[in-house]
Structures are given as C-alpha cells and as structure tokens.
Amino acid sequence: MGEVRTRFAPSPTGYMHIGNLRTALYAYLIAKSNDGKFILRIEDTDQDRYVEGAIDVIYNTLKIVGIEHDEGPDIGGDYGPYIQSERKEIYQKYIKELIDKGDAYYCFCSKERLENLRQESKNKKIPFRYDGHCRNLTKAEVEEKLAAGEKYVIRQKVPQTGTTTFKDEVFGKITVENSSLDDSILIKSDGMPTYNFANVVDDHLMAITHVVRGSEYLSSTPKYNLLYKAFGWEIPIYVHLPLILREDGKKLSKREGDASFEDLYRKGFLKEAIINYIALLGWSPGTEQELFTLDELIENFSIDGLSKSPAIFDMEKLRWMNGEYIRKLSLDEFKEVATPYFKKPIKKRDVDYDVLSRLLHTRTEVLSEIPEQLDFVDELPDYDIELYTHKRMKTNPENALIHLKEAYKVLEELEDWSFDSIHDSLMDLVKKLGVKNGQVLWPVRVALSGKQYTPGGAIELAELLGKEETLKRIKIGIEKLSSR
C-alpha cells in the first residue's frame, strides 16, 4: 500500500467532546505510526447548525494537545478545499455521474408527504423506509418537474435485493440485507450534500486510506460501500471505534459539561493526562505500560489493540492519571501551572510559592482543587477545640494547652525563621519534655490551621505562615483552650 492517509472530520459545533478528540487521536496515531499523513477536514454541510468560531475551537484543541495535521483548511494541501461547504461544485459533478449511472435519482417528495409516510409506518408499527415514490420517474417526468422549478433532493438508489458486506478492522465482517437499507438523501434541497454523500466523495478524492470514525456510522457504512462500488472506487479500510459512554452508561452529551476537552482542561487536568487517558479508553497496548507520551503512543499504537465494546469514561481514573502527571512535573513546572490556583485563595498574605509548591505537588490530583486546600492561609478558620483531641497522638485540650504554651515560648525566641530552625527548636522541645513528636506537633498544626487535614505538618505550616502569624495563631489557640 502507498502512503497511509487518515482524516479527522468534525463538524463545527463549537464543542470538542472527549469522544471526538479520541477519534482524532486514533486517526492521528494510525497515520503517524505508519509514517502517514493526518488530514483535517471540516464537515459543515449542515448550514443550520453553523456556529460562530467553532472551527477555532477545533484548531485550538488540536494544537493544545499536540495533534498536528499535515493538511487542512488553515494550512492547505494538495487535496483542498478542506471545508465541505467550499466543495459544493465537486459534489454536483459527482452526483450527476451517479444519476447518469442510475445509482441516484431526483426525488420531488415534499417534507409533508414524507412526514405522513413516517407517521403511517409508526401507526402500522413497521419500519419506515422511503417508499420509492420518485424512484422510477421517467427522464421526461424529471425534466418536466425540474423545468417547472419543483424543489427536489437527490437520493441514493439502493438495490432492493441481495446483501452488502463490508469488512471493518475492529468489528470484522458485517453483512446486511439491502432491503433493510433506505434510499437516503445524498443532496439536500439547498444543494448541499449530506454526510452520506460527502464523506464518500471526499474520502476518495482526498485519498484517505483508513476511514476512522465512531461506531455510530457502522450501520450506514453498507450504503457508503454501495456508493464506492457505484463509482468504481477502491473501498477504504474501515476503522470504526467503540463509543465512549458516561458513567451512567449513556452516550456522552454536550449537556454533560465535563465531557468536553475544554472543560477538563479548564478544570485543571493536564493535556498530557487527558490524551493519555482517552488513548486507553478503547485501546490497549497489550503490555503493562499505562503512561504514554504522544510519541510513545505513536510508537506503540496498533489497530488490533482496539476493542469493540463501548467504554465508560471514569473520572476517578482520569484523576489518578492526572495526579501521576502532576507528580512527574518538576517543582518549578508545578509552580508554573499551580500559581493561578495559589492566587485564588491567598490574597492577603505574602507566602512563598516555592514552599507552597513543595507542599502541594504530591497532594494535588486536579489543579482546581488547590484552593480548598489552602483556605486556612489568609484567615484562620474558626474551629472547635475538640480538634486538639487525637487518640493516636494522645493529645487532648489539656495537654495541648501546655504544649502550645511551651511551643510559643520556643518559637518566640527564634531568630532565624526557616524550616530547619523551626524543626530543630520544636524537636528540642519535644526532647526536653520527653514526649512524642505528635504531642507537640499536632496541637501546633491545629492551632496554625484550624483544620483536621492540611497539606504539610506543623513545621511546614509555620514556615509558610511566617513568625508573626504563627505566634498569633498559637496565641489564639492558647486563648481558646484557656477560656474553656
């Protein structure tokens, strides 16, 4: 075979959901793992669904995740135009050919008539199919109606007998009765082609070798096959992908905000994690490896690793994987991506972002959850003194009060306010008192944060808050415990 060429052909809806992105990814991987070309084509034949700026969403998303196309509307190529609405004449030319060959025909049926037909079928509980009303109009009849300016669409003339078989790389051989296929519309009354026609013409003209798309197209593929045959064109390799479902087992939808790439990205999921995760939704490398860069995916990807059954999008696992990617970041890199999230909860106090980064980088799974971990920094929350009771530490309000007072004295004396000096002074105190670390450190941590759980311990929080604030908060703790 010659050069492998795949395409990603989204319709510009202004929204890139995870399933679409994954389709793009797989199409890209199939191309790149074969040293082939990846093409971007915009399927905007539905003029009613035009959304302003939607194409930019597609460009931006692909750019962010690093899926680069070799040909497309923005960069051109030898097979353009790459926007279907600009290819109208091309379809006109090919539909003529089909009509001449007798594989397509003019249909003058009104929408009302079709609606009645549909209703009738429904009442009779039989499957709706176009009744072929215009299928056998004579040439003269067609000419006459055309001359009279009657509105028309052009339908595919599907054989009424026999079967059609096609082979899909993941689903295998699929055979259907031609009698179950409808004479679907190829050209709409506005002159635009439907997907049913445009995808075949474009994939052929653009020399696409592997047609990669969601499995929702599986059931119409026989009709496309018939079209390829009618034209005498080579049938491409079909790669239909299992769908991605929501946790409740339903298809991903736009209403489910979390399902779009943009939303996840904005929520603080790293692009590498998103790509890695969706790559594994429906594909397995056949090895134990789970973490892949884009390049590693290219290296390891193979069509036989694709599975047939739909996969449920599991937010928990994405979270875990995102955590993995965050932990792989260097401290500086983490600081870079986390800084916007540091700024949100911390407005009053001047804290060292390096220290914050150190505290949070193993404690962050999703960036957007950073603020809630730092809600005690600006302002000490009001807390219950029962927080001072910890069974395993053997702390309670009584001994906490004593140890807090001791800690205060020691820290007050400290000249150099660094992690090490705070550490040493507090540990000396522990030693002097002859108690366990937790006896002193737990109460201090509680006094500093007012929280049950904090990122980091007493020493780290003291370092973060600075001497003045640390002493102030310990004092508050002492007062709380004293006035009990």
Q: Which is nearer to RNA, 3 or 267 (CB)?
A: 267
- The answer to whether residue 432 forms part of the interface with RNA (CB under 7 A) is no
Instruction: Dig out the tokens for 244 from the structure.
Output: 């991605």
Handedness of CA 45, 253, 266, 273 (dihedral sign): negative
Contact 315, 281 (CB under 8 A): no
Question: Taking the complex as a whole, how short is the minimal distance between the CB of residue 99 and RNA, in angstroms?
Answer: 17
Find the binding residues for RNA in span 175-234 (CB under 7 A): 175-177, 180, 182, 184-185, 188-190, 192, 194-196, 215-220
Residue 434: left (phi > 0), alpha (psi -120 to 50), or beta?
left
- The answer to whether residue 437 forms part of the interface with RNA (CB under 7 A) is yes
H or E segment and range at residue 244: strand 244-245
Of the residues 363, 405, 472, 475, which one makes contact with RNA according to CB under 7 A:
363
What is d(CA 98, CA 256) in angstroms, rounded to the nearest whole number? 41
Question: Taking the complex as a whole, how short is the minimal distance between the CB of residue 97 and RNA, in angstroms?
Answer: 20
Question: Taking the complex as a whole, how short is the minimal distance between the CB of residue 56 and RNA, in angstroms?
Answer: 18
Single out the segment in contact with RNA by CB under 7 A; choices: 64-72, 241-249, 262-270, 397-405: 241-249
In which order are the strands placed within the sheet that holds 163-168? Answer: 37-40, 5-8, 210-214, 237-241, 163-168, 172-177
What is d(CA 71, CA 41) in angstroms, rounded to the nearest whole number? 8
Q: Which is nearer to RNA, 232 or 254 (CB)?
A: 254
Q: List the one residue out of 178, 155, 164, 34 whose CA is nearest residue 95.
A: 155
Q: Which of 254, 317, 431, 432 is catalytic?
A: 254
Q: Site for RNA (CB under 7 A): how many residues?
A: 92
- The answer to whether residue 249 forms part of the interface with RNA (CB under 7 A) is yes
Instruction: Dig out the tokens for 352 from the structure.
Output: 């060292």
Contact 319, 308 (CB under 8 A): no
Question: Taking the complex as a whole, how short is the minimal distance between the CB of residue 347 and RNA, in angstroms?
Answer: 23
Contact 226, 159 (CB under 8 A): yes
Find the binding residues for RNA in span 90-129 (CB under 7 A): 109-111, 114, 118, 125-128
254 a catalytic residue: yes
Q: What are phi and psi of 452, to 5 degrees?
A: -70, -45
Of the residues 83, 174, 298, 385, which one makes contact with RNA according to CB under 7 A:
174
Contact 246, 177 (CB under 8 A): no
Find the binding residues for RNA in span 265-294 (CB under 7 A): 280-284, 286, 288, 290
- Output DSSP code: residue 252: P
- The answer to whether residue 81 forms part of the interface with RNA (CB under 7 A) is no
What is d(CA 151, CA 188) in angstroms, rounded to the nearest whole number? 10
Instruction: Dig out the tokens for 78 from the structure.
Output: 């030898």
Find the binding residues for RNA in span 37-76 (CB under 7 A): 43, 45-46, 48-49
Each residue 393-412 as x (binds RNA by CB under 7 A) or -, in order, gives x-------------------
Question: Taking the complex as a whole, how short is the minimal distance between the CB of residue 312 and RNA, in angstroms?
Answer: 4
What is d(CA 410, CA 166) in angstroms, rounded to the nearest whole number? 81
- The answer to whether residue 132 forms part of the interface with RNA (CB under 7 A) is no
Q: Which is nearer to RNA, 125 or 139 (CB)?
A: 125
- The answer to whether residue 435 forms part of the interface with RNA (CB under 7 A) is no
Q: Which is nearer to RNA, 3 or 330 (CB)?
A: 330
Find the binding residues for RNA in span 287-346 (CB under 7 A): 288, 290, 304-305, 307-312, 314, 316-317, 319-320, 323-324, 327
Find the binding residues for RNA in span 133-152 (CB under 7 A): 151
Runs of H (alpha helix) within 169-254: 195-205, 221-231
Catalytic residues: 254
